[in-house]
Structure 1
Amino acid sequence: MRLNRHAGLLPCCVALQTWPLQALAQTQAWQHEWAQRPGSVLLSAALALVVVVMMVYGARQCVYSLNRVFGTHRYPYAGIDQAAWPMVTVFVAAHNEEKVIASNLNALLASDYPQERIKVVVVNDRSSDQTASIVDAFVQTWPGRIEAFHRAQGKAGKAAALKDAMAHAAGDIAVIFDADYTPGSALIRQLVAPFFDPEVGAVMGRVVPRNVGKNLLTRLLDMERSAGYQVDQQARMNLRAVPQYGGTVGGVRLSAVQAVGGWSDDVLAEDTDITFRLLIAGWKTVYNNAAACHEEVPEEWFVRLRQVHRWAKGHNQVLMRQAWALLRSPFVTSRERIDGWLLLHIFLMQPLLVLGWLLAITLYYLDAAEAVTLFIPAPVLMGYAVMGGFAAFLQMAYAVLVDGHRDRIRLLPIQLLNFLGTLPVISTALASCIHDRLTGQELVWHKTVRYQAQVAP
């Protein structure tokens, strides 16, 4: 009995005795490889670093997925239904939007927000189609409720147009929509409610595609949007991390925006830029998953890839500007600092994955298996395969289940092809961002194509 009682300690004792010998053998193996093939060792170390970073992001996505499905959903402003609603200015960003602008304005006119407390300003930025005449017809039909700001000059881009349009704001709260969005009647109240909290600087609602049934691409984008909002954004809200203001279907506190320097008109992702500048200054961004609004997603692959290029390039511009300030800010919690740092680098994952593939192929042809195993043990490779390779698709799978669209899970394997198609686009966006920063190249804004049939006012 005494022997059996201590039998379980024997493996531990043996392991403790042999550990120094194993460590010595590992060190000798590193020294041998370095002496024989230093290039392979350096490449293996670089590949190991890529694997570790990818595993960190994979773990992040797994945590968000599990929190969304099994965690407690946090939205402390849900009970605000009756209130002394503040004055709100709704800005509608429009550039060549003749196909969709009427639907947007009709939806805003149907809002249940108190009419005397809402002002709609259409920011018509140098449209060359019938957008101006359609907007003017609405202004004539609804005088006092809709105002047109026809912008004929100045910098191109949504951020520059909004910056100029702020002079037409009434009150301290601005709600912003792109022209292809159709807000529901209660959406303005849902987006304004969190601003009763004086710490809130921005609010974001959920984006839902309305042209899902058009083709395979729109179905894939519906899954992607659902993962991004239903899972990722909601989990960040639950965990008190960094929900992101998305530039449309959202609102900002104008005094907060002014306090951090106003809108930046020299960045493609003005929404990401204002999210982080508000965060660094101590303001909070709130996500409301119930505040859903329908958008028109791209129906053609070249339009989709150009949109992804713009997002990636703009996000990386913000990374280069705000990363150090985020680390230094005294107003950011440790959780926000970590999550914000990971969020800032999110569009570096695709180029990093490509780099990892190139390193692995190079090491394969160098016959450097021994050097690789010195830095990347088998358990690490298994963890990378689970968390680094498939975590993004786990978010999509959970989003489909949460939405109740279980049949769409069959599209999940095709998402891999969609992901592979964006790899070169996002990688070139990084190169373009670095080039522009070094050369001082002026931004070029590419508008997303619209498909909806024109609606009369």
Structure 2
Amino acid sequence: MNRGGRHRPGANRESYRLALLVHAVVLVGAILLFGVDRTLGWMATALNVIFLVFFFRHLAFAVSAARWAEGDLNAPLIGTDDFTPTVAVLVACKDEELVVDGMVSALLSLDYPRERLTVVVVNDASTDGTGARLDERALADPRLRVLHRRPGAGGGKSGALNDALALVDAEIAVIFDADHQPEPDVLRRLVRHFRDRKVGAVMGRCVVRNGVESSLATTIFIDYLSGYLVNEYGRQALFELPAYGGANCAVRTSLIRALGGWNPHTVTEDTDLTLRLLLEGHRVRYDPSAVDFEEAVLSSQRFWKQRYRWARGHQKCLRDYWRPILRTPHLSPMEKLETILFLWVYHVPVLCGLGLILIALHAFGIGDASIIQMVSLSALLFAGPFCELAVGLVLGRVERRAVWMLVGFIPAFGMSILTATKSYFEGMWGTTYSWVKTARSGAT
């Protein structure tokens, strides 16, 4: 796999463009051979099968979380005093002047043996006052080490983390983002899982701290209850396959070094690392009691850019890794299926958009009525995530106005269709895209 810093960039753009052309040729050929109605009917049937699979997947995660998650959320922290591996906390910062003080204060308040902990914050060529604020805090507390990267150093967050990793000699690396404020016991909760040598990484739970700042922040707060609680809990409970989430996460330094570090050729280094760990026979563990608070974006423009980046990176991971996932001996057939479904998550909204087009065509009498009416089952694509959202609201004790919160979530589904579709076609066409940081507002 990706050792010695040699990261596989994926197939060339010509092959992806050829794939788009093949899709178009097959569609046109089917229409010429079988007619518009039958072709659209077959497409609708295929979509219904896919939507049904994902509906039962979401439903299974929701049921698992509803049944078992509450006990794990409230699990006491016991038996950790005798297991304190050396830990390096790594944070990449770029133009984070508004949030860096709160983050540093939270990191320096972590409950972990002082002599076993190193904190390294990377100032990734910031153009605001981030570097000066970090230097000021480092002078006041020697536990904080600051690394200043030069402009043009490259690699985005992955490059910054790789530079920080080179400075430390610790058994475990714990990653936070610049706007994060972890609870004091997070490190003890995360590292306890590394007693199991098969565990390569551990993911904690991220909670939005400014969910009342705006309707968009409220939507993201609910989304995190579903994604960072119900969805990941279900993936662990049913398959032991949660994802490394990129922040509030821990990884063995020996493994990340053996894998060549974080991949600078992806904009979602977390998903990329999840897959590389699985392919090497290691597992990710999810601990919902390891809580970390972060800031939600407050503008639709920032939300669009963030979700587009997630879709673009996730879709690239599918293109890069689906073959190795199917061939690896470290996953069972069911685990391979779940991993492929996980990688398909940001493709499903594209298919949902296609389903809406088929519904519109049927409204104008285009399509095989006996088959295409089944497209109404595409509602299952929304019903599954709504089950997760509802369970997340209950587990998060957000029960007041819960129904209206779910209704208000519908526009977010529409945006997911647009961002995922744009990402899919631009990614397949080979449109250049590089890592773009999420701008912060300093919300508390």
Q: What TM-score results when the alignment is normalised by the length of structure 1?
A: 0.85
Q: Which runs of 5+ in 1 are unaligned?
A: 1-33
| Amino acid paired to 2:100 | I
Q: Which residue of 2 aligns with 1:288?
A: 287
Residue 169 to residue 435, structure 1, CA distance change in 2 (3 Å):
farther
> 1:110 Cα shift?
1.1
Matches within 5 A, 1:260-271: 260-271=259-270
Residue 453 to residue 365, structure 1, CA distance change in 2 (3 Å):
closer
| Amino acid paired to 1:208 | V
- The Cα RMSD (Å) is 2.3
Residue 388 to residue 418, structure 1, CA distance change in 2 (3 Å):
closer
Q: Which residue of 1 aligns with 2:21?
A: none
CA distance in structure 1 between the partners assigned to 2:359 and 2:61 by the alignment: 29
Residue 261 to residue 207, structure 1, CA distance change in 2 (3 Å):
same
Q: Does 1:150 align with 2:143?
A: no
Q: Which residue of 2 aligns with 1:428?
A: 422
CA distance in structure 2 between the partners assigned to 1:77 and 1:93 by the alignment: 31
> 1:383 Cα shift?
5.1
Residue 311 to residue 367, structure 1, CA distance change in 2 (3 Å):
closer
Q: Which residue of 1 aligns with 2:17?
A: none
CA deviations over 1:241-282 (Å, ceiling 9, x no partner): 420111001111121123333211010000000001101111
Task: Provide the secondary structure at the position in 1 that maps to 2:154.
Answer: coil
CA distance in structure 2 between the partners assigned to 1:102 and 1:252 by the alignment: 25
CA distance in structure 1 between the partners assigned to 2:382 and 2:144 by the alignment: 49
Task: Provide the secondary structure at the position in 1 that maps to 2:239.
Answer: coil
CA deviations over 1:157-204 (Å, ceiling 9, x no partner): 101221222211221210000110011111111111111211111110
Residue 147 to residue 367, structure 1, CA distance change in 2 (3 Å):
closer
Q: Which of these residues, 367, 371, 389, is aligned with residue 382 of structure 2?
A: 389
> 1:97 Cα shift?
0.8
> 1:391 Cα shift?
1.2
Q: What TM-score results when the alignment is normalised by the length of structure 2?
A: 0.87
Residue 115 to residue 408, structure 1, CA distance change in 2 (3 Å):
farther
Q: Does 1:41 align with 2:38?
A: yes
CA distance in structure 2 between the partners assigned to 1:74 and 1:198 by the alignment: 25
CA distance in structure 2 between the partners assigned to 1:273 and 1:447 by the alignment: 18
> 1:235 Cα shift?
1.2
Q: Which residue of 2 aligns with 1:68?
A: 65
Q: Is the 8 A contact 1:43 1:363 kept in 2?
A: no
Q: Is the 8 A contact 2:186 2:290 kept in 1?
A: yes
Q: Is the 8 A contact 2:69 2:233 kept in 1?
A: no
CA distance in structure 1 between the partners assigned to 2:102 and 2:224 by the alignment: 22
CA distance in structure 2 between the partners assigned to 1:74 and 1:200 by the alignment: 22
Q: Is the 8 A contact 2:202 2:250 kept in 1?
A: yes
Matches within 5 A, 1:296-445: 296-368=295-367, 371-373=368-370, 375=371, 384-385=378-379, 387-409=380-402, 410-436=404-430, 441=432, 443-445=433-435
CA distance in structure 2 between the partners assigned to 1:392 and 1:274 by the alignment: 25
Matches within 5 A, 1:103-252: 103-143=102-142, 145-152=143-150, 153-252=152-251
CA deviations over 1:212-243 (Å, ceiling 9, x no partner): 11111111111100011221111111113420
CA distance in structure 2 between the partners assigned to 1:72 and 1:408 by the alignment: 22
| Amino acid paired to 1:391 | G
Higher mean displacement: 291-300 or 62-71: 62-71
Residue 117 to residue 413, structure 1, CA distance change in 2 (3 Å):
same
Q: Is the 8 A contact 2:206 2:248 kept in 1?
A: yes
CA distance in structure 2 between the partners assigned to 1:353 and 1:197 by the alignment: 40
CA distance in structure 1 between the partners assigned to 2:223 and 2:138 by the alignment: 37
> 1:119 Cα shift?
0.3
Identity of aligned residues (%): 30
CA distance in structure 2 between the partners assigned to 1:212 and 1:363 by the alignment: 40
Matches within 5 A, 1:248-259: 248-259=247-258
Residue 113 to residue 364, structure 1, CA distance change in 2 (3 Å):
same
Task: Provide the secondary structure at the position in 2 that maps to 1:406.
Answer: coil
Q: Which of these residues, 26, 32, 52, is aligned with residue 55 of structure 1?
A: 52
CA distance in structure 2 between the partners assigned to 1:77 and 1:244 by the alignment: 23
Residue 350 to residue 382, structure 1, CA distance change in 2 (3 Å):
closer
| Amino acid paired to 2:302 | V
Q: Is the 8 A contact 2:191 2:250 kept in 1?
A: yes
Q: Which residue of 2 aligns with 1:6?
A: none
CA deviations over 1:47-97 (Å, ceiling 9, x no partner): 211111111111110111111112477979964422231111100110011
Task: Provide the secondary structure at the position in 2 that maps to 1:201.
Answer: strand
Q: Is the 8 A contact 1:107 1:182 kept in 2?
A: yes
Q: Does 1:451 align with 2:444?
A: no
CA distance in structure 1 between the partners assigned to 2:307 and 2:193 by the alignment: 30
Q: Is the 8 A contact 1:280 1:331 kept in 2?
A: yes
Task: Provide the secondary structure at the position in 2 that maps to 1:168.
Answer: coil
When Rg is computed on C-alpha atoms for both structures, the one with the higher figure is 1
How many matched pairs? 411
Q: Which runs of 4+ in 1 moved over 4 A?
A: 34-37, 71-79, 380-384
> 1:424 Cα shift?
1.1
CA distance in structure 1 between the partners assigned to 2:83 and 2:48 by the alignment: 53
CA distance in structure 2 between the partners assigned to 1:392 and 1:148 by the alignment: 41
